[in-house]
Amino acid sequence: MQTLRVELGERAYPIHIGEHLLSDAGLVTPHLDLPKIAIVTNTTVGPLYLERLSQALLAQGVEVISIVLDDGERYKDWATLNRIYDALLESRCERKTTIIALGGGVIGDLAGFAAATYMRGIPFIQVPTTLLAQVDSSIGGKTGINHPQGKNMIGAFYQPRLVLADTAVLATLPPRELSAGLAEVIKHGLVRDEGFVAWLERNVEQLLACDPQALAHAVRCCCEIKAAVVAEDERETGVRALLNFGHTFGHAIESGLGYGNWLHGEAVAAGMVMAADLSRRMGYIEQADVDRILVLLKRAGLPVAQPGLTPERLLELMALDKKTEGGQLRFVLLDRIGSASVRGKVPAALLQETMAVHAVD
Amino acid sequence: MQTLRVELGERAYPIHIGEHLLSDAGLVTPHLDLPKIAIVTNTTVGPLYLERLSQALLAQGVEVISIVLDDGERYKDWATLNRIYDALLESRCERKTTIIALGGGVIGDLAGFAAATYMRGIPFIQVPTTLLAQVDSSIGGKTGINHPQGKNMIGAFYQPRLVLADTAVLATLPPRELSAGLAEVIKHGLVRDEGFVAWLERNVEQLLACDPQALAHAVRCCCEIKAAVVAEDERETGVRALLNFGHTFGHAIESGLGYGNWLHGEAVAAGMVMAADLSRRMGYIEQADVDRILVLLKRAGLPVAQPGLTPERLLELMALDKKTEGGQLRFVLLDRIGSASVRGKVPAALLQETMAVHAVD
């Protein structure tokens, strides 16, 4: 097991990474105020891992309540959040009850927002079970739900007390989920670490084959990058925005297609190609850089073009992007592979050209 | 104008108290990130003060959006919160747009929770227009909505950047609202300052007559107490819980009767009498102390007994109180007039006796 820390003063917390941590309740119990836990999971992850985690906690004398939600991005909404509140109230969960999110990004966001807002905030632990959640969404305290008009529009920054990344569970991931996770893995390299991008180019097949050592290395590298960025800029007033590379376009694709039709990582992959293309049109990087990114994403099994949304529709969806300032869109663009900046003042003509490139059906 | 500060490190903020501050937009503009404000108010307060506040801001070059909600505790729910989100999205409000709550406690809680959760948090300013909001709910960052099963069950601690208490607006308060505010004024004295209780006993008629000097003094004293308590214990892990004196019973009365049938302050008044009665049964205070509290609340025009809810129903409603720990109810009880403590281990028989005392219809 390896342990990193997210250095956030009184809100600092550890990230444990290793195989079979799910059964090690001794890692969880030191973080509890009361021996009572509500595990939030979904109908896909629950049957695989809920019993194992619950039994380990019960054996330590912890009372466990299970809240099993429907699976999918389309359920990241108020109605599902309310199901969590109702279950917490029904089970008489108190301010010192801890919520555990057992699942991928959607479960982490929903359970985290419930923890942030139930009785104005109760303790929270992330047990991410997808690659995407282990390398990205479980770290840093972004929680929330979607609004029909925009992804993650309603939410809170609310840090967990612990992140427990059991890399053994990645072996049961469907290939499509694994690829979606690789999109965020590649993103970490593109905005912060060219050496890691080069490592990914050498190891993408091992990752797709669920090679344990390769996965453990990728998870650790991403967690290191994410933890450092979050520690520097918890509430995204600066450097943290760079981790949204590909997300301005990606969120527009996700909500334009209807939540859940593309996985988040798939939309981010296509969005990163668009952001790279725009970086090239702005003169920051070369076509060779764009091609290099495109090839790596393709090898990871990811889409590399948006699915045919019109530029008008994309613009409309992007107008609500959270980076928008004074009505002006701002984009995370690459300076080179391994480094990015937030840029305003992108000429409309160049943006139009980027948006007009899309996948042929 | 007098200015206090809530000392909360990087989240510190001023409370300005004085007459006709509503028209002084120069007090607001230094706290804005962008010259764009969404004012959240209701159908009662809006017609009285929205125009005045908006015009003052417009004259300073600030873009103003108005969101006018229905009036009443029964609207402190998800549906109304969603109306705020929809309006913010429709008006393209961004992360640097500021929300102003113009109204009483319900508007402050709703608008504050919207600010806490829209795009994971945007700037927020409180302009309280009721006595209750000026002396209590606008200070300290408690925001949220009610759940059918319990008051303020969903919410967040989210501090405003500024509280602007215009005492001139209190002159338009209906007598019932003024009395409800006096309940929280009296509460501040009972838990922290016997001298202030004695002052209230000498000045309650002046307060009910809206004497400007008396009101200004009461608002300032309460804000001083509240600001000091919040600075010491922002997230209510200790001393801040004392400000919930009367609220365990009060919240149960409010939700037992249906939100909005009694005003919050009215339920708190009856709840304080119950808490004082329980303090006496526990041997902490004398019957003479209970009588003194009862007389003051009566003089302030407040109910002094619960409206006939059965002990069983009250217990059921109180089981979800946010102070409950390990399934055990905890009460804020008086040590003497001017001092209170949180107490667990209240014998069921004594609690039953307290709950059995109620108003005769």
Q: For residue A247, what is the domain's CATH number? A: 1.20.1090.10
d(CA B244, CA A226): 40
List residues bridging with B150 in a β-sheet: B147
pLDDT bracket for residue B259 (50, 70, 90):
confident
Is residue A70 classed as helix, strand or coil in its secondary structure? coil
Report phi then psi at A180, rounded to 5: -60, -40
pTM confidence score: 0.95
Residues 88-127 of B with CB under 8 A from A: 89, 92, 94-96, 116-121
B94/A319 CB distance under 8 A: no
Interacting residues of A168 by C-beta distance below 8 A, sequence separation 6+? A19, A20, A22, A212
Residue B151 lies in a domain: yes
Given this model, what pLDDT does residue A84 score?
98
Residue B139 lies in a domain: yes
Given this model, what pLDDT does residue B135 score?
97
Reply yes or no on whether B226 is catalytic.
yes
Q: How many domains does chain A have?
A: 2
Given this model, what pLDDT does residue A321 score?
87
Based on the fold, state whether residues B145 and B183 are members of the same structural domain.
Answer: no
B319/A92 CB distance under 8 A: yes
DSSP label at residue A77: S
Whether residue A326 lies within 8 A of chain B, CB to CB, comes out as yes
d(CA A204, CA A301): 10
CB B346 within 8 A of CB B329: yes
A92/B320 CB distance under 8 A: yes
Whether residue B141 lies within 8 A of chain A, CB to CB, comes out as no
Q: What is the mean pLDDT of chain B?
A: 96
What average pLDDT does the segment B173-189 reach?
97
Is residue B129 classed as helix, strand or coil in its secondary structure? coil
**Which residues of A form the catalytic set?**
120, 142, 184, 226, 236, 240, 244, 247, 251, 264
CATH of the domain at B131: 3.40.50.1970
Residue B23 lies in domain? 2-172
Among B34-48, B86-100, B170-184, B347-361, which stretch is predicted with the lowest mean pLDDT? B347-361
Residue B39 lies in a domain: yes
B117/A322 CB distance under 8 A: no
Strand order through the sheet with B162-166: B2-6, B13-18, B162-166, B124-128, B98-103, B36-42, B63-69
Residue B74 lies in a domain: yes
- Higher pLDDT: B134 or B255? It is B134
Instruction: Look up residue B256 and give its two tokens.
Output: 């037992």
Q: Which of A126, A147, A171 is the last residue of a domain?
A: A171
B142 to chain A: closest CA residue: A120
- Higher pLDDT: B148 or B175? It is B175
pLDDT bracket for residue B360 (50, 70, 90):
low
d(CA B300, CA B181): 10
Residue A361 lies in a domain: no
Q: Which of B172, B205, B220 is the last residue of a domain?
A: B172
Is residue B150 classed as helix, strand or coil in its secondary structure? strand
> For the residues of A20-69, what is the DSSP string, one character each?
TGGG-GGGTGGG-SSSEEEEEEETTHIIIIIHHHHHHHHHTT-EEEEEEE
Note the pLDDT tens digit of each residue in A15-26.
Answer: 999 999 999 999
Instruction: Determine how β-strand B2-6 pairs with β-strand B36-42.
Output: unpaired
Q: CA B305, B310, B315 angle in degrees (round to 5)?
A: 95
Of B78, B74, B67, B22, whose CA–CA distance to B42 is shortest?
A: B67
Q: Which of B146, B172, B198 is the last residue of a domain?
A: B172
Based on the fold, state whether residues A95 and A116 are members of the same structural domain.
Answer: yes
What average pLDDT does the segment B247-251 reach?
96
Based on the fold, state whether residues B119 and B180 are members of the same structural domain.
Answer: no
B151 to chain A: closest CA residue: A119
Given this model, what pLDDT does residue A150 score?
85
B147/A319 CB distance under 8 A: no
pLDDT bracket for residue B53 (50, 70, 90):
very high
Given this model, what pLDDT does residue A360 score?
57
Could you list the pLDDT tens digit for every one of the 361 residues in chain A? 999 999 999 999 999 999 999 999 999 999 999 999 999 999 999 999 999 999 999 999 999 999 999 999 999 999 999 999 999 999 999 999 999 999 999 999 999 999 999 999 999 999 999 999 999 999 999 999 999 888 899 999 999 999 999 999 999 999 999 999 999 999 999 999 999 999 999 999 999 999 999 999 999 999 999 999 999 999 999 999 999 999 999 999 998 999 889 999 999 999 999 999 999 999 999 999 999 999 999 999 999 999 999 999 999 999 888 888 888 999 999 999 999 999 999 999 999 999 998 765 5
Based on the fold, state whether residues A140 and A38 are members of the same structural domain.
Answer: yes
CA distance A144 to chain B (A): 8
Partners of residue A115 in chain B, C-beta under 8 Å: none
B153/A326 CB distance under 8 A: no
Residue B361 lies in a domain: no
Residue A27 lies in a domain: yes
Based on the fold, state whether residues A351 and A210 are members of the same structural domain.
Answer: yes
What is the largest distance, in Å, between two alpha-carbon atoms of chain B?
Answer: 63
CB A65 within 8 A of CB A81: no
d(CA B142, CA A267): 37
Nearest to A325 among B96, B120, B147 (CB): B96
Based on the fold, state whether residues A109 and A193 are members of the same structural domain.
Answer: no
Given this model, what pLDDT does residue A11 score?
95
Nearest to A156 among B92, B121, B327 (CB): B121
Based on the fold, state whether residues A123 and A35 are members of the same structural domain.
Answer: yes
Based on the fold, state whether residues B204 and B133 are members of the same structural domain.
Answer: no
d(CA A3, CA A321): 34
Identify the active-site residue in B236, B254, B266, B330: B236
d(CA A198, CA A281): 24
Based on the fold, state whether residues A128 and A222 are members of the same structural domain.
Answer: no
Note the pLDDT tens digit of each residue in A155-213.
Answer: 999 999 999 999 999 999 999 999 999 999 999 999 999 999 999 999 999 999 999 99
d(CA A237, CA A254): 24
Burial of B288 (0-12, 13-18, 19+ CB in 10 A): exposed
Based on the fold, state whether residues A45 and A192 are members of the same structural domain.
Answer: no
Instruction: Look up residue B59 and give its two tokens.
Output: 């004259």
Interacting residues of A327 by C-beta distance below 8 A, sequence separation 6+? B92, B94
What average pLDDT does the segment B263-278 reach?
97
d(CA B332, CA A288): 69
Partners of residue B120 in chain A, C-beta under 8 Å: 142, 144, 152, 155-157, 235, 322
Sign, CA dihedral A48-A53-A54-A55, equals positive
Based on the fold, state whether residues A157 and A237 are members of the same structural domain.
Answer: no
Based on the fold, state whether residues B185 and B328 are members of the same structural domain.
Answer: yes
Given this model, what pLDDT does residue A64 score?
98
Instruction: Look up residue B154 and give its two tokens.
Output: 């969903």
Given this model, what pLDDT does residue A359 score?
67
Query: Is ipTM over 0.90?
Result: yes
